[in-house]
Structure 1
Amino acid sequence: MTLADWGFGMDRFQLKILVQDYLKRIDPFKDGIPGKDWITGFEKRWRENLRRRVAENLPKNRTEACSKEVLQDFYSKLNNSIKRLQLQRKPQNTFNCDETGLQTDCRVQKILCRKGFANPHKVVGSTTKSTYTVLVCCSATGEYLPLYINYKGLHLY
């Protein structure tokens, strides 16, 4: 559960390898690895605390970009910019943008994580699949700008 909280959730195979390593000297399983019956029993024993959920891949560089220091620096610079540009009472001139990436990689991997964990993710070195980005922008008064969609390639066919 702690590993999943940290972004390193284990799937069934990784859990079996962990147990194999732990029990190697004590009570080896058939072929040296726990079988399907053991993993099913494990999940039943821990059903009040663990769930298998679909994990979203999260590149390592994105996890490092969201440290406490980075966020404090961002909000300090944002506050200075708002004061410098005198935007405190001009919500029509204050916009927020957000983007979402739609990946062509549709593989689903379920990991074991704490029951009730809202957004399980698995840290990966990088993603090699194509990503289409959708950017949404809205003012503080609720006025939306047109969507911006970024496709891979020079031409949209």
Structure 2
Amino acid sequence: MRLVRHIKNMQKSGFALTRQDVRRLAYEFTNQLGFKHQFIPNSEMSGHVWLQSFLRRNPTITIRKSEGLSLPRSQSMNREAVKKYFDLLQKVLEENQLFDKPMNIFNMDESGLQLNNRLDKVLAEKGSKSVSAITSSEKGETITLVACRNAEGTFLPPAVIIKGYLSDFGLR
């Protein structure tokens, strides 16, 4: 079905469709194809009942909560960038003789939690692990969590970064 293919393609491109998007598309497709329908003309979208029936008829599509993904981040993940990263990593490990010293190899990751960013639920292919929807970077205040561990499995205490709060955590 054309609409199912379109929903899946948009999801794979990082532009997962909301329920309202799909209802508008159904209305547009129906008009373009010249089918008779009972959709409300003023709203220019199909109804809630139609959407529920559509989901029952197409069990490969489900409603999921999307995860925000900024446009720059979505564009930076490509084969060339990944290869360049691992080539550089190998060079650094060799130059510093770290291949046999897992206690000296650390990985750090940060996660930003936006306090007033509410993402819509979107339609996605059933069984999808994560569903991203590209968002603008102009959201609300962010709290940053930082985790770090070495290749041996030892964790450092996590750090929480909050705007406007300064603490020495007993380091002075």
Q: Name the structure 1 match of 2:5.
A: none
Alpha-carbon distance, 1:154 to partner: 5.1
Counterparts of 1:74 and 1:127 in 2: how far apart (Å)?
28
Q: Does residue 58 of structure 1 match 2:69? A: yes
Counterparts of 1:76 and 1:103 in 2: how far apart (Å)?
33
Q: Does residue 72 of structure 1 match 2:71? A: no
Q: Name the structure 1 match of 2:10.
A: 3
Matching of residues 1-157 of structure 1 within 5 Å: 1-25=8-32, 26-27=34-35, 29-31=39-41, 32-47=44-59, 49-105=60-116, 107-153=118-164, 155=166
- Alpha-carbon RMSD: 1.7
Amino acid at match of 1:79: Q
Deviations 1:27-81 (A, max 9, x none): 353214211221111111112x011011111111111121221111111110110
Q: Name the structure 1 match of 2:170.
A: none
Normalized against structure 1, the TM-score is what?
0.90
Amino acid at match of 2:40: K
Counterparts of 1:129 and 1:69 in 2: how far apart (Å)?
33
Counterparts of 1:105 and 1:19 in 2: how far apart (Å)?
31
Identify unmatched segments of 5+ residues in structure 2: 1-7, 168-172
Q: Percent same amino acid at aligned positions?
A: 27
Indicate how the Cα distance of structure 1 residues 30 and 136 shifts in structure 2: closer, same or farther if over 3 A, else same: same
Counterparts of 2:75 and 2:119 in 1: how far apart (Å)?
24
The secondary structure found in structure 1 opposite 2:123 is: strand
Counterparts of 2:138 and 2:128 in 1: how far apart (Å)?
23
Normalized against structure 2, the TM-score is what?
0.82
The secondary structure found in structure 2 opposite 1:117 is: coil
Counterparts of 1:73 and 1:153 in 2: how far apart (Å)?
37
Aligned residue pair count: 155
Q: Structure 1 runs of 4+ off > 3 angstroms?
A: none
Amino acid at match of 1:60: L
Identify unmatched segments of 5+ residues in structure 1: none
Of the two structures, which has the highest relative contact order with CA contacts closer than 8 Å and spacing of 6 or more?
1
